[in-house]
A and B are shown apart, each in its own frame.
Chain A
């Protein structure tokens, strides 16, 4: 990591720490949901952007995480245990769901995960004795840190921010590790990766499972943020929303999903004045975006950078100019 990048990161973190003080309670809530969705999108980015597996089930992992945390904390289990349990459960389920990924890929995997998401929502809705059915669960407690309550929006924001930074650093470490390189090799060329000794089976499953556990954590934070969950919050639309965050920001770029989440979470706030036409405008924007920059915004930046380098040094091949 260069000095330049490090300085940018520190500045970014400083902004994230100072920003909530200028915001109303609602502003802090929006910031919190951005961070929460960023965590979920980071996980999906590992599955999709780095390991190249299309998943439409991220919201179902958020749901599993949210219900696990809610049910356990309300039954008196301390919050760290509940949140870790949520992550572990999602890891295991993601690992099991990843098995189909070994048999089928691409659009087939998209359909399997889509069906899985729909099944999870059905169960959340129908098993009323456990999940409260369509009425959901109300009054989920927020965690207590060193005797400090995070009931206030600002305190909870810093709790979420700390976990966000922790998960981002963890993801960075995973991507830089031999595992992470194996993920990338798998995405670029599965056959070559296999011939170089990458265990496709293990690597794919791991990417899926780790990505899912990120979704689980995001779900548990979402449950504590809104203090109310129902099956509707974890439907297919939410999975698509998270997928869109990854694609809009730029799949396979570390900061892609974080940028994407910012845009997708803020878009409704900016388009609020359009009222009923909001979803139509939103859908049109997505189509336009897909047509003009399918690699996402960071992909667009990267393309611009390469073009600039090529202009400075016309003899360089695209690859030499930094791909």
Chain B
């Protein structure tokens, strides 16, 4: 079917009939069943042993990190946390299918993608503890990671803003002739924001090599997806915008990996966006400020626990003869110790010095910021005991 851009190309009908939702349903790609068996070996992606193990260990590492940091928040050691439990296959599987030169613009539940790129436990901790080693210099809440070297754009809190930005970033990559794409992660809730419409539409019209990756995880804080949108999910919207679209089982690493690999190839070769809708489930709370028991049942959660993406993938690894229980246990033990040690280390590192407060607003601080800093420092010097984080280090 060709794009119909003009009214004159539209075929006429003399029947007063409306096109109903549900007439065409978009299927979900699944290559791994719940027992870890491949459903279509011919379509299964090629993943070598090293990559497969890296995917598996990254997923397990992230789950450990999430558990520990939710605990740290409960103990009052950090102010906030967002876990990705249940969604590890979506973010780690997709990140594994990318090139390291591809830009990642994420929402806030994609620590798996960042860990896959090589973000270290210390780096995670320094950001979460807002200490002076935090690349954001203590200016953003925990989980707002960003790393220029790893091509991971610093996260912003407002929802969906990265969607139109990803279109622009990808346009820049294309114009500069870089053999790279941008992947933009967001949840199905963020797809209700105007930025989703603006961004996907612009990417389609302006031919931007960007992968829009929607984690349809069932809930936007407490709002279930049936109160979030009508119609056939987010995938149907991609088609509406003239964007090549695929829906995948988001708990199936093989499906996510295969779809992302294909999406990347198409985006790069054809200079166009591709939309992936990953059907998954947020087993965790929305954030540490949230209690899902108030809005959903345990039985619903249990149903999804049975579809655990990590176990499913490990069964597949096992079938390949690549799963080593002893090595995995040892890895988990080592990671646990590493996370705990890094946590203790990071919380002892002081915050950035007060002089830093006026940096990075502009390329250099203008007169009014310089004046305000002078006044602030004089005030802190007068009441040092009231500003213990910074008073001992005034320059």
The judgment on whether A and B are partners is no
| Chain B interface residues (CB < 8 Å from chain A) | none
Q: Which A residues are within 8 Å of any B CB, using their own CB?
A: none
